[in-house]
């Protein structure tokens, strides 16, 4: 068995974040995640803070931010507090994009909903005719 662990193995981190171990290594390789500490051997051990950062990344991903932009954001983050204004700008741009995307989805949703109603009526009508 192991020691009481406040730090997660790569598979536990994968479990916790919803990413695969492959993807976690990939993200680290391309600089989205800082080099994770290795404990007592060559293997990665993830802290709660690491998991928090990865969760934030997956949320950025889910908003549609590209890997390239996430790399840029992570790089700024590593450079410390003097990059706060740039990060703020990135987040504002992201917010605007996401809001626009949501509006567009609502627009398209209306059309889909309209088609559902039309098709639904026709299908219901045919059901009636059959009986």
Q: Which two tokens stand for residue 107?
A: 């627009």
- Contact with its own copies (CB under 8 A) among 5, 11, 37, 88: 88
Q: How far is the CB of 42 from DNA (least distance, A)?
A: 5
Q: Which of its own copies, DNA, none does 17 bind, CB closer than 5 to 8 A by kind?
A: none
What string of H, E and C letters represents the secondary structure of the chain? CCCCCCCECHHHHHHHHCCCHHHHHHHHHCCCCCCCCECCCCCECECHHHHHHHHHHHHHHHCCCCHHHHHHHHHHHHCCHHHHHHHHHHHHHHHHHHHHHHHHHHHHHHHHHHHHHHHHHHHHHHHHHHC
Within residues 109-128, the interface with its own copies by CB under 8 A covers 109, 111-113, 115-116, 119-120, 122-123, 126
Choices 7-15, 16-24, 31-39, 89-97; region in contact with its own copies by CB under 8 A: 89-97
Site string for its own copies, 53-82 (x = CB under 8 A): ---x--xx-xx-----------------x-
CB atoms under 10 Å from CB of 96, counted, come to 10
Q: How far is the CB of 43 from DNA (least distance, A)?
A: 4
Asked if 24 and 54 count as a contact pair (C-beta separation under 8 A), the reply is yes
**What are the residues binding its own copies (CB under 8 A)?**
56, 59-60, 62-63, 81, 84-85, 87-88, 91-92, 94-95, 98-99, 101-102, 104-106, 108-109, 111-113, 115-116, 119-120, 122-123, 126
């Amino acid at each position: 068995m192991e020691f009481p662990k406040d730090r997660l193995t790569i598979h536990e981190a994968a479990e916790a974040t919803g990413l695969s171990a492959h993807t976690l290594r990939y993200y680290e390789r391309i600089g989205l995640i800082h080099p994770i500490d290795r404990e007592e051997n060559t293997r990665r051990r993830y802290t709660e803070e690491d998991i928090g950062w990865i969760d934030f990344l997956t949320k950025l991903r889910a908003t549609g931010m590209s890997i390239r932009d996430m790399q840029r954001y992570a790089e700024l983050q590593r450079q410390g507090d003097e990059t706060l204004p740039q990060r703020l700008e990135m987040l504002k741009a992201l917010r605007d994009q996401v809001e626009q995307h949501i509006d567009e989805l609502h627009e398209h949703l209306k059309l889909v909903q309209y088609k559902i109603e039309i098709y639904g009526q026709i299908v219901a009508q045919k059901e009636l005719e059959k009986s």
